[in-house]
Amino acid sequence: MIIESISAITIATHDMARAVAFYRTLGFDDVPYGDTDAPFTTFRIGAGYLNLIAVPENKQWNWWGRIIFHVSDVDAVYAKALAAGFIPSTTPRDAEWGERYFHLSDPDGHELSFARPLGKTS
């Protein structure tokens, strides 16, 4: 048996409208289920999904890890984030492991990385 892929990841939010607006601003446009007023929202990302689930304010979390999204243009996503007033924790850079990337936390504190393998043009 071989584990072949990740189908979806689900992260929590205290404010669905704010979270959906944040992800849409960054280009997450395909929403097959839910929306700003739903308790559960799904964004389609290639063959996989990013799910948001609304949880009460009394549910808290600490740093849990990072979601890495491969994108066609790291610098364009970074520029879009800056234009929206978001404050990434890093600037785009070429890493020794062979990716260009930057980090940004969503409004609920979930760390996101937007990356592109170096040398890949499409």
Q: What is the DSSP string of 63-108?
A: ---EEEEE-S-HHHHHHHHHHTT---SS--EE-TTSEEEEEEE-TT
Q: Residue 92 and residue 108: Cα distance in Å, rounded?
A: 22
Asked if pLDDT for residue 122 goes beyond 60, the answer is: no
Mean pLDDT computed over 74-95: 96
The pLDDT assigned to 121 comes to: 63
The pLDDT assigned to 28 comes to: 95
Same domain, 19 and 50: yes
The pLDDT assigned to 64 comes to: 76
Domains of the chain: total: 2
Q: Residues 67, 110: contact at Cβ < 8 Å?
A: yes
Helices (H) and strands (E) in the chain, counts: 2, 7
Helix (H) or strand (E) holding 53: strand 48-54
pTM score of the predicted model: 0.83
Q: Residue 24 and residue 30: Cα distance in Å, rounded?
A: 9
Q: Which two tokens stand for residue 85?
A: 């007033």
The pLDDT assigned to 60 comes to: 79
Asked if pLDDT for residue 102 goes beyond 60, the answer is: yes
Same domain, 70 and 121: yes
Q: Is residue 70 part of a domain?
A: yes
Same domain, 84 and 112: yes
Same domain, 15 and 35: yes
Residue 33's pLDDT band (cuts 50, 70, 90) = very high
Please list the residues that pair with 13 across neighbouring strands: 54
Q: Is residue 1 part of a domain?
A: no
Q: What's the Cα-to-Cα distance from 120 to each of 76, 99, 100, 117, rounded to whole Å?
A: 15, 9, 10, 6
Same domain, 49 and 70: no
Same domain, 38 and 71: no
Round the average pLDDT of the chain to a whole number and report it.
92
Q: Is residue 29 part of a domain?
A: yes
Mean pLDDT computed over 77-90: 96
Same domain, 51 and 72: no
Asked if pLDDT for residue 3 goes beyond 70, the answer is: no
Q: Is residue 83 part of a domain?
A: yes
Same domain, 30 and 52: yes
* Single residue among 36, 56, 76 that ends a domain in this structure: 56
Domain hosting 92: range is 65-122
